C-alpha cells in the first residue's frame, strides 16, 4: 500500500476531529483492516517510512486511505465505542 497524496492536517485537534468523523462514518471493520494493512506494509518495508515517522503522519495516512477505500455512511453510534472496535482486544 502506498501512502496517498493527502491534505496535511495539523496535530492534534484537526486530526482528532477527522478521526472522530472516520469513526462515525466508516464501519469499524473497514478502519481495522486498513490499520492492519498499514502495519503489515510497514513491517514488510512496503510503506514509505515517512508514514511512521510521527503519529500525525500515520493518522493522516490512515484517514486518507480509509476515505479512498470505502464509501462512508453515518453510523449514529458513539465514536469512542466504534474506535475501540478497530483492533481486537488482547487478554
Residue 8 has pLDDT above 80, yes or no: no
Does some domain include residue 60? yes
Residue 45 lies in a domain: yes
pLDDT tens digits for 39-89? Answer: 898 889 888 888 888 888 889 899 999 999 888 999 999 999 999 999 887
Q: Is the pLDDT confidence value at 4 over 60?
A: no
Digit-coded pLDDT (tens) for 64-76: 999 998 889 999 9
Residue 10, pLDDT above cutoff 70: no
Q: For residue 43, is it within any domain?
A: yes
Residue 89 located in a structural domain: no
Is 3 domain-assigned? no
Is 4 inside a domain boundary?
no
Domain that holds residue 56: 13-83
- Whether the ω angle into residue 25 lies within 30 degrees of 0, i.e. cis, is no
Distance from C-alpha of 21 to C-alpha of 84, rounded to nearest angstrom: 14
User: How many folded domains does the chain comprise?
Assistant: 1
In a domain, 8, yes or no: no
DSSP reduced 3-state for 81: helix
The span from the CA of 7 to the CA of 28, in Å, is 23
Q: Please determine, for residue 32, whether its predicted confidence score (pLDDT) is greater than 90.
A: yes
Amino acid at each position: 500500500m502506498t501512502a496517498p497524496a493527502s491534505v496535511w492536517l495539523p496535530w492534534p485537534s484537526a486530526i482528532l476531529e477527522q478521526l472522530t468523523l472516520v469513526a462515525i462514518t466508516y464501519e469499524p471493520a473497514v478502519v481495522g483492516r486498513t490499520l492492519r494493512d498499514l502495519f503489515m506494509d510497514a513491517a514488510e518495508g512496503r510503506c514509505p517510512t515517512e508514514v511512521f515517522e510521527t503519529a500525525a503522519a500515520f493518522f493522516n495516512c490512515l484517514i486518507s486511505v480509509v476515505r479512498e477505500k470505502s464509501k462512508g455512511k453515518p453510523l449514529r453510534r458513539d465514536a469512542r465505542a466504534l474506535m475501540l472496535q478497530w483492533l481486537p482486544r488482547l487478554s
